[in-house]
Every structure is written in structure tokens, then in C-alpha cells.
Chains A and B, each alone.
Chain A
Amino acid sequence: MRPIAPLGRRRGAVTRVEEVGAYRVLHVADARGPLPAAGQFYMLATVRGWGAGEDERPYLPRAFSFLSADAGTLRFMLEDVGPGTHRLAGLQTGEELWLTGPLGEGFRPPHDGRQALLTGGGVGVPPLAAWARQLGDRPLALLGFRDRVHAAGARMLDAAQVRVATDDGSVGHHGLVTELLAAQLARDRHAVVYACGPPPMLEAVRALCSEHDVPAQLALEAGMACGFGACYGCVVPVRDGGYVRICVDGPVLDADRLERVP
């Protein structure tokens, strides 16, 4: 049974802010919410100063998968890349957030004795980190980053083995994480791939898994206004026709439901 969000948004105070390479990790007190399942997400906005930034934004809350959760505390990892993440990245201890969640459908466990194989990168690390912790058997993880500063994000993941790729070769494999995935799938196809990352990476993961006939679950992202199915903004086209809403039908979708990741 998927954890269900308390009705409405609620306040949560920032209890700690960590810098991890290019990322911020916000620790947020949340006494009211249930423990979320890996892959679920929250809509976040600051209580004060949400708006009136660049271009009078942000206005809408932003969706974030949680990085980790335990009794009374949620952790979110983010990178300052736009007006919403800029405001969130500037939060100080003691400031408050609006939280709605946990929302959406998370990852499902491997079946048929297959091994979990985590693949992703950048700000796609949080749901994979949460899933590694929830699985408990410390799976293999393949993570891609832009450079050394961003590759610090790999530290968030508690896996048996983390293989890193960077675009500039400053850490680990010089190239794409999907090259590591291709090599791994050539060695062992008895796996379920769990992936989260930028859309081109997810599309490459989807295509590779399809080619190797390996099941994959993709944690997708799209701009969304609400997070609970109201706005119909966060859709992706599916193979059997029409669209599904990432917020209520995902964010985790079986890769074979998609013709391609848009």
C-alpha cells in the first residue's frame, strides 16, 4: 500500500542545510507526514519569499523526490538552476517550507530473482538513494555527473558499489553513464534497472534496456503545477495511446509503457 499524503499542504521548518558539491541538502522537519516510499515526491515552496524573484517567479510549487526520510525528518537534494531552486537553495535553518506529499507511485521491488541495478545521475540521485536504502541489500549503482563538483552527489547513495562517470573525465569513467550501463547489461541481463536522471539519459536507458530485454522502471520528471492530478500539465505520451500524468500515474513508470522518453 502506497503511503498517502495528509490532505493539504503543511509547514515544515528547515533544521539543517548541507552543501554536497554542487548540491544543497535540506533537512526538513515533518512530524505529520507518513514515511514515504522511494520514488515518491513532495511539492515544495517556501512560506516566505516565494515569488518576486527573477521574472517575478517562482509562483508554482516545485516537485522533488525525497533523498531520505526517517521519523520526523525529510531530506531533499537540489541544485540551484532556476528561480524555484534558487529560492530553495537560499533557505536557512529555521525558515519554513510548504510541503505537500508524499505523492505519486514509487519503485516496485525486483521480481524473478533479478538484481536491482540503479542508474542515473545529477539531481536524479535522490530517488535512487532512497531506493537503495529501502531495498537494503546494497545494490550496484551507476551514476553520471557533469564534473567532479557534481560527482560529490554520489556520496548520497549507500550502495555496495557505485561506479561514476563524468562528462569531463574528472572522476571515474570519462563519458556517459549509459556506457557503463551497456557494459553491465552485456555482462549480466538478470537485472531490473531503476533509473532517474535527465530525459536524454532516461531515453538512452530505456532504449538500452529494451534492446537487452531487461525490465526498467524510470522515475520521470516534468513541469507540474500541483502534484496531485489537478492541472494535467505533467503528461507523457504512452505506447497504448494518449497520455499519463506523471504526478499520479508516476513518477515511476515501467519503461516499456513508453515509446520514448520525451
Chain B
Amino acid sequence: MPTASSGCRSARRLGAGAVIEFCGLRLAHPIINGSGTFDAIAARRAFGDALLADFPFSAFVSKTITLQARTGNPPPRLWEAQAGMINSIGLPNRGLDGYLEHDLPQLAQLPVPLVTNVMGSTEDEVARLVEAVDARAEVAAIELNVSCPNVKTGLDIGADPVSLAALVRAVRPLTRKPLIVKLTPNTADVAAVAQAAESEGADAVSLINTLRAMALDRRRGGLWLGGGTGGLSGPAVRSVALAQVAAVARRVAIAVVGMGGVAHGGHANDLISVGARLVAIGTENFRDPCAGTRIASELKSLQIERSPSTTMNESEPRPEVDVNCADS
């Protein structure tokens, strides 16, 4: 079993020489976090400064920041699903001003590049967020959360290539920092949306966000989640993520950040095999606070075993992975 059974100490075993390039950023390994799946400020309260010494990710993606502060959805916000979970958190955050004043100075102390994730319901809102974040040197890259309804059409911006293209066109000139578009899987053709992002100058796309899902309260009737519907994540979405990442990677030349149900290095290797440049860890962080470190280590072991790696064509069989490398 190549994995670290406890703590994040295996990070150091990755070696100083392991560097991967992503949109001009040099990262120690290909494993980052998915937005909203790891609160580095809260984690430092829980685990102390050991978190900084052995940070689990090679870059840190903030939770989504909106222009105005949001308290989030009423509880219950979670439902444990079959091999996964449904969340309806509702993007609680301090708003742009609160983020810049309170969160950013603390996130700037992390030992890795910071990606700030922003969301707005109009182009103007997103533009204001991008401009404000662009002005801060602590931020290495900006990720757009486009799983938000367009106030004019009611459709999720990220579900519609035309809306998405217009949004990226509007904000691309506002920043020279790498611009990543976080794609939603809740659309008919995710690759078409990815192409729209690429054509308007996005530097990368990341996917998948959660799949729209709901849970019923069997005892009392009605919906379980306070927010109504939520997003499904975890191992339950892994195969969907693999297919969507593969479809997008075939269609665009920009970097792809793959995520969805990654729980060990074999899963990360799958996403890289189909074209992901980086892999983000989401729900597995909840089960294992050092999942990033562990998966980076497992991935490295796999890559050493299998080099040279080849890029897979979707019509080829799924590569065999050592499922025994996970000990969780």
C-alpha cells in the first residue's frame, strides 16, 4: 500500500523537483482542491499551523465569492447519498469586500498559489468581481463559477454556450491573470460550452461541478434539503466526470482541470489519462482532510510505474488502474 495512512506528511516525499506547469503557474504536483470543498481558514483553526507546513494541495481554490455577502441556504444542507452526498449550501460568503478584507490576508499565508472563485448573476457583477480580484497581487488566478442563472434568460450561464461566451468576452479583457471557467455538468453538451469559453480567451476550464439532485424526507414528506434541490458529488459521479472531462479535453486545446469523485490516485490518473492537466479533489476532502497529499503521492507512484504515459482516446478501453492503492 503506497499511501500515507495518517497525516499529510507524505507531501515532502514528492520531492522539490516535481513541478507541473498550469497557465503559467508552477505547481508542485497536479492535485488541487475543488472550490467550496476545503476552507483553509477553518482548517487552520482545526489543525493549527501544521496545515501550512504540509498543505494538501499544490494550489488553493477559494470558495465562491459573490458581490454581496450571502448567508447560504437554510438547513438541512446535506444528504448522504449512495456513495456520495447531495449538498445545498447556497454559497455562503462574506461578499467581495469581506473577502478582500478578512479572507484574502489569511489565504495569502498559504504556501501555494491562490485561485479565487467568483460568481455573479450579471455580466456587470462578474466584471466588478474580476476587476477587484485582479487588483490583488495575492491572487494567482481567477475561476468563474458559471453555475448561476442568467437573470435575463433564467438558464444557468454555464449551460448555454452563447451566454457563457458573452460572459467570458466581457470579463477576459479585465484581467491578465489566468482565467479558469468552472463548467457545470447540467447541460446538454458540456464540450460546446468549453469551446465557447476557449474561443473567448479562457485559459482553462474546470469540471465537473455537482450534478443537480434532490432527496426526499420519507418520514415527514416533502424535500429534505432546505434549499430544495442540491448537487450530487462523490464516487457516485466519478464515471460521469470521466466522460465529460474526456469529451471536453478532446474538443479544446486549453488546460483542463478534472474533478468528480476522485478518492485515490487511480482516479486522478484516469482523469489525466483522458486529458486533464490538473485534478481537483472535492468530497474526498471531507472524509480525509489530507486527501490531496495522499492522492498526489498515490498518483506519483502510479506515474512512475506506468511511464511513459499516453493520452487516451475515448474509443479505447478504460485504462486499468490499481484499485488497491486506496486504503480508505
Interface of B is mostly: loop
Whether B82 and A223, one on each chain, are in contact in the complex, defined by CB atoms closer than 8 angstroms, is no
Whether B42 and A228, one on each chain, are in contact in the complex, defined by CB atoms closer than 8 angstroms, is yes
Whether B234 and A228, one on each chain, are in contact in the complex, defined by CB atoms closer than 8 angstroms, is no
Instruction: Provide the residues of chain A in CB contact with B43, threshold 8 Å.
Output: 228-230
Whether A8 and B85, one on each chain, are in contact in the complex, defined by CB atoms closer than 8 angstroms, is no
Whether B46 and A228, one on each chain, are in contact in the complex, defined by CB atoms closer than 8 angstroms, is yes
If A59-B234, A232-B89 touch, whether A8 touches B78 (CB-CB below 8 Å) is no
Instruction: Provide the residues of chain A in CB contact with B47, threshold 8 Å.
Output: 4-8, 228
Instruction: Provide the residues of chain A in CB contact with B84, threshold 8 Å.
Output: 59
A contacts with B, residue count (CB < 8 A)? 46
Q: Does B189 contact A (CB under 8 A)?
A: no
Instruction: Provide the residues of chain B in CB contact with A229, threshold 8 Å.
Output: 39, 41-43, 45-46
Q: Does B87 contact A (CB under 8 A)?
A: yes
Q: Mark each residue of chain B from 30 to 46: 1 if its CB lies under 8 Å from any CB of chain A, else 0.
A: 00000011110111011
Q: Contacting B38 at CB < 8 Å: which of A222, A230, A236?
A: A230
Q: Does B6 contact A (CB under 8 A)?
A: yes
Whether B80 and A57, one on each chain, are in contact in the complex, defined by CB atoms closer than 8 angstroms, is yes
Instruction: Provide the residues of chain B in CB contact with A98, threshold 8 Å.
Output: 288, 328
Instruction: Provide the residues of chain B in CB contact with A32, threshold 8 Å.
Output: 6
> Which one of B15-23, B68-76, B143-151, B170-178 is at the A interface?
B68-76
A62 to B84, CA, bound (A): 14
Whether B288 and A231, one on each chain, are in contact in the complex, defined by CB atoms closer than 8 angstroms, is no
Whether A7 and B75, one on each chain, are in contact in the complex, defined by CB atoms closer than 8 angstroms, is no
Q: Does B92 contact A (CB under 8 A)?
A: yes
A146 to B80, CA, bound (A): 27
Whether A243 and B290, one on each chain, are in contact in the complex, defined by CB atoms closer than 8 angstroms, is no
Q: Does B14 contact A (CB under 8 A)?
A: no
Whether B85 and A242, one on each chain, are in contact in the complex, defined by CB atoms closer than 8 angstroms, is no
Instruction: Provide the residues of chain B in CB contact with A231, threshold 8 Å.
Output: 37, 78, 87, 89, 286
Instruction: Provide the residues of chain B in CB contact with A5, threshold 8 Å.
Output: 46-47
B contacts with A, residue count (CB < 8 A)? 46
CB distance from A235 to the nearest CB of B (A): 5
Q: Does B306 contact A (CB under 8 A)?
A: no
Q: Contacting B83 at CB < 8 Å: which of A51, A61, A227, A262?
A: A51
Q: Does A11 contact B (CB under 8 A)?
A: yes
Q: Does A225 contact B (CB under 8 A)?
A: yes
A45 to B46, CA, bound (A): 18
Q: Which residue of A lies closest to B93 (CB)?
A: A232
Whether A9 and B48, one on each chain, are in contact in the complex, defined by CB atoms closer than 8 angstroms, is no
Instruction: Provide the residues of chain A in CB contact with B77, threshold 8 Å.
Output: 232-233, 235
Q: Does B314 contact A (CB under 8 A)?
A: no
Q: Does B8 contact A (CB under 8 A)?
A: yes
A50 to B37, CA, bound (A): 21
Instruction: Provide the residues of chain A in CB contact with B82, threshold 8 Å.
Output: 55-57, 59
CB distance from A74 to the nearest CB of B (A): 15
Q: Does A119 contact B (CB under 8 A)?
A: no
Q: Does A100 contact B (CB under 8 A)?
A: yes
Q: Does B187 contact A (CB under 8 A)?
A: no
Q: Does B7 contact A (CB under 8 A)?
A: yes
Instruction: Provide the residues of chain B in CB contact with A47, threshold 8 Å.
Output: 327-328
Q: Does B242 contact A (CB under 8 A)?
A: no
Q: Does A58 contact B (CB under 8 A)?
A: yes
Q: Does A116 contact B (CB under 8 A)?
A: no
Can you list 8 A-B contacts (CB < 8 A)?
A: A7-B8, A8-B288, A226-B286, A229-B39, A230-B43, A230-B289, A232-B39, A248-B42
Known: A8-B290, A225-B85, A229-B43. 10 other contacts (CB 8 A): A8-B6, A45-B287, A47-B328, A60-B286, A232-B92, A233-B89, A235-B75, A242-B92, A243-B72, A243-B92
**Chain A residues engaging chain B, CB cutoff 8 angstroms:** 4-11, 32, 45, 47, 50-51, 55-61, 98, 100, 103, 222-237, 241-243, 245, 247-248, 262
